[in-house]
């Protein structure tokens, strides 16, 4: 039997399709077509769709299946501060001993981002890596789960964001300031900059949305 359930892979694949808009906002999900396209039966597909609906990446319309929620600027305005506060909380709940060595590791990623900014690279993926690393020492698995489940919602809105190189440089600077604050043991300052980093991302986002 499958050592990893099909629904896990499917959740990833469908998430990707929502994020790159192959599954367009507002569109209904046709289970038969999608199952055929993904090469699985409807059963594990539905399991994945239900999981995604629980996370808010899809919505379930009783009797009408699942659909991709339309874009809503208000939703973005609520998701960014939410993720910001959740990450800040995770950071504050990481004890000093667990933070040992983290600032250096973070700055390594920041260097990579700077290089990617100069030579052209996947800034968004590096940004993800930086944030994942920041939270990697947090001992509260439930909080981490909430963050993991919420971030994909936000990425729908973020997609066009890191194309704006202007803010990428700014963001790298903030990341370095966070690492520096962590070196000083100043969790409050670090989490404040972290929240500001997210909120600024939201501000830039607003410019792109039609």
Partner DNA sequence: TAGTTAGTTACTGTATGCAATACTGCGCGC
Partner DNA sequence: GCGCGCAGTATTGCATACAGTAACTAACTA
Binding residues for DNA, rule: CB under 7 A, are: 1-3, 5-7, 28-33, 40-44, 46-47, 60-66
Picked from a copy of itself, DNA, none, the partner binding residue 82 (CB below 5 to 8 A depending on kind) is a copy of itself
6 binds, among a copy of itself, DNA, none (CB under 5 to 8 A by kind): DNA
Assign 3-class secondary structure to the chain: CCCCCHHHHHHHHHHHHHHCCCCCCCCEECHHHHHHHHCCCHHHHHHHHHHHHHHCCCEEECCCEEECCCCCHHHHHHHHHHHHHHHHHHHHCCCHHHHCCHHHHHHHHHHHHHHHHHHCCCHHHHHHHHHHHHHCCCCCHHHHHHHHHHHHHHHHHHCCHHHCHHHHHHHHHHHHHHHHHHHCCCHHHHHHHHHHHHHHHHHHHHHHCC
User: Residue 29 binds which one of DNA, a copy of itself, none, with CB within 5 to 8 A depending on kind?
Assistant: DNA
Q: State yes or no: residue 7 binds a copy of itself (CB under 8 A).
A: yes
Number of residues near a copy of itself (by CB under 8 A): 35
Give the residues lining the site for a copy of itself (CB under 8 A). 1-5, 7, 43, 46-47, 50-51, 54-56, 60, 62-63, 75, 78-79, 81-82, 85, 89, 93, 139-143, 145-146, 149-150, 153
């Amino acid at each position: 039997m499958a050592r990893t359930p099909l629904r896990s892979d499917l959740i990833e694949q469908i998430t990707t399709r929502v994020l790159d808009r192959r599954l367009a906002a507002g569109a209904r999900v046709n289970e038969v077509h999608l199952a055929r396209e993904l090469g699985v039966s409807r059963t594990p597909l539905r399991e994945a769709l239900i999981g995604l609906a629980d996370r808010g990446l899809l919505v379930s319309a009783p009797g009408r299946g699942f659909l991709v929620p339309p874009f809503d600027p208000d939703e973005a305005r609520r998701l960014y501060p939410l993720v910001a506060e959740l990450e800040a909380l995770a950071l504050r709940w990481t004890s000093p001993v667990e933070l040992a060595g983290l600032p250096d590791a973070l700055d390594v990623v920041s260097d990579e981002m700077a290089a990617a900014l100069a030579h052209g690279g996947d800034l968004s993926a590096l940004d993800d890596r930086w944030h994942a690393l920041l939270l990697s020492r947090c001992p509260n698995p439930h909080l981490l789960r909430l963050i993991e489940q919420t971030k994909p919602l936000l990425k729908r809105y973020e997609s066009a964001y890191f194309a704006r190189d202007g803010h990428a440089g700014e963001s790298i600077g903030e990341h370095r300031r966070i690492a520096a604050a962590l070196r000083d043991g100043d969790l409050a300052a670090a989490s404040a900059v972290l929240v500001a980093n997210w909120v600024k991302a939201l501000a830039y986002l607003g410019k792109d949305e039609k």
